[in-house]
Each structure stands twice: as structure tokens, then as C-alpha cells.
């Protein structure tokens, strides 16, 4: 049975209230104490809003003497962050060049003396960790944002002074229960991969394994990126999206999970 979604303005109001008075307050306390916080908030709960609030508070407290990087995994997300700054009243951050938004792939350009907001922190790799290690010290303030950070990636964050006490987690169910996130629907779409798609994945996986054997860090990162891009642009995913749009366009919200098996060691 289809549920009625609350008006979007009500959702935004609740999101602001919940993050400010609840989890945002917790994040604020942790960040003020240790200058480190990892906000693992489900999609739609307000990670971006909370991160901008913390950055703004720091810039105000230091009277603009500190500057921030917001690091994102994809170029198109850069404009999204600028749009969020404008929406929540933080346009002054980029107007006065206090915040620079940069891609993870440009991590070799990082300058010392800046603070970091790591968007989608699960995108950190060992290569990027190395570039960050060169510019981060105990005084560096760091905000990590992600819907979820697995144990392996959190181990990388530990290199920057993070531990369990710095993690604040809000699951999707908790977000819905709080009223900050609208209810969701899940549809499982079984997909059959054709021969061409299968051979492409196997080929990319061989490239990745070859780089691993040679301990080629740059090659490993390039191979993983190629795998991700190949999957993202695959015919099957486009067909799955079309199927959802054609079949469920009248629903309030759809979360799509496509489940496949591991092929040649590549997790799809």
C-alpha cells in the first residue's frame, strides 16, 4: 500500500531540527573537543548541512584565519556543495575564499595548514591516504562524511587520529523513524549479464590483479576507477533505471538495490 509522503518543507524543517538538536549537537561536542568527527548519516539526514555548520563555526571562531578543503569524489558534486552553501546561508565561505572544494583525484595538490571535510569518506584509498598524510597533523581539523564507512576504510581514518568515539551513526531506519527522512520502498531487480559485459569485467579485474602484484598504487587506483565507471555506465544499469522509472514513477520514493554475484573476484 502506497504511503503518503510528508510535504517537502516539513521534511526539511524536521531535518534541520533533528540534526541541530540531536545528532548535530553530538557531532558538535566531539568536534569541539578533538577537532575530529565522522558523521555516518543515512542519505537525506543532513550530512552536508551539519558539515557546513561545523565549518562555519570554526571559521567564525578563528576569525577566518583558517581555511578549509571540502574533498569530493566526483567533479559534478563540487557544484552541489556550492549550491548547498547558498541554500543554507553559507555563501560567504566561498565568496571570501575560505573554503575550496576539490576532487579526491587532485589530492596531490593539497596544501599544508588547511583543514579537511572529507565528503563520502568511504572513497579514501591508500594512495589518497598517502597524499593526505603529507599535509595533515595533530592540529588539522577533519570532518568525515558518509552514509557508511566500512571497517577497512575507517582503519585509514585512524591514521588521521580518528577512533570509535569520533563516530556518530544514523541508519536509514533511524532517519525515517525520526521524521528527518521520508519513508522508502525497496525493489530487488534480478539482472542477467551478457557475455560482452562479463568479459569486460573479467578483463578489468585482471588489470587490477596485475597492478596489485606489481604493487603499483597508481595503477590499482586507476583500475578500480575503471571498474566503477564500467559498472556505472553498463547497459544493465541503464536498463534497470529505465525499468524503475517506467514501473514505479508514481511512488513517493524508491531505493534501488541491484544484487549480483562476484565474478572473477570483482564484487559487483
- State the pLDDT at residue 257: 47
- Which of 71-85, 173-187, 218-232 is most confident? 71-85
pTM of the predicted model, to two decimals?
0.65
Give residue for cell 562524511. 145
pLDDT above 70: percentage of residues in the chain? 68
| pLDDT tens-digit map of 229-249 | 666 666 555 565 565 556 555
Cα separation, 243 vs 142, whole angstroms: 41
| pLDDT tens-digit map of 191-226 | 555 555 566 667 777 888 888 888 888 888 887 777
Q: What angle do CA 59, 60, 63 make, to 5 degrees?
A: 85
Amino acid at each position: 500500500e502506497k504511503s503518503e509522503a510528508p510535504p517537502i518543507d516539513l521534511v526539511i524543517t524536521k531535518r534541520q531540527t533533528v540534526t541541530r538538536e540531536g545528532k548535530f549537537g553530538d557531532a558538535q561536542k566531539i568536534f569541539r573537543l578533538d577537532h575530529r568527527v565522522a558523521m555516518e548519516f543515512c542519505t537525506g539526514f543532513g550530512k552536508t548541512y551539519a558539515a557546513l555548520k561545523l565549518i562555519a563555526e570554526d571559521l567564525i571562531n578563528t576569525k577566518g584565519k583558517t581555511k578549509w578543503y571540502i574533498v569530493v569524489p566526483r567533479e559534478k558534486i563540487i557544484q552541489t556543495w556550492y549550491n548547498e552553501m547558498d541554500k543554507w546561508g553559507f555563501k560567504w565561505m566561498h565568496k571570501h575564499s575560505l573554503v575550496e572544494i576539490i576532487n579526491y583525484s587532485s589530492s596531490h595538490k593539497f596544501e599544508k595548514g588547511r583543514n579537511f571535510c572529507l565528503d563520502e569518506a568511504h572513497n579514501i584509498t591508500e594512495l589518497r591516504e598517502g597524499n593526505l598524510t603529507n599535509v595533515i597533523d595533530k592540529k588539522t581539523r577533519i570532518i568525515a562524511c558518509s552514509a557508511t564507512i566500512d571497517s577497512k576504510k575507517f582503519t585509514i581514518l585512524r591514521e588521521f587520529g580518528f577512533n570509535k568515539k569520533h563516530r556518530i551513526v544514523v541508519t536509514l531506519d533511524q532517519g525515517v523513524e525520526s521524521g528527518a527522512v521520508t519513508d522508502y520502498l525497496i525493489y530487488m531487480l534480478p539482472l542477467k549479464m551478457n557475455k560482452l559485459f562479463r568479459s569486460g569485467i573479467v578483463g578489468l579485474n585482471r588489470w587490477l590483479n596485475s597492478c596489485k602484484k606489481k604493487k603499483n598504487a597508481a595503477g590499482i587506483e586507476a583500475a578500480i576507477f575503471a571498474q566503477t565507471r564500467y559498472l556505472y555506465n553498463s547497459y544493465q544499469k541503464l536498463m534497470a533505471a529505465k525499468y524503475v522509472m517506467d514501473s514505479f514513477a508514481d511512488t513517493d520514493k524508491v531505493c534501488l538495490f541491484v544484487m549480483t554475484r562476484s565474478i572473477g573476484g570483482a564484487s559487483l
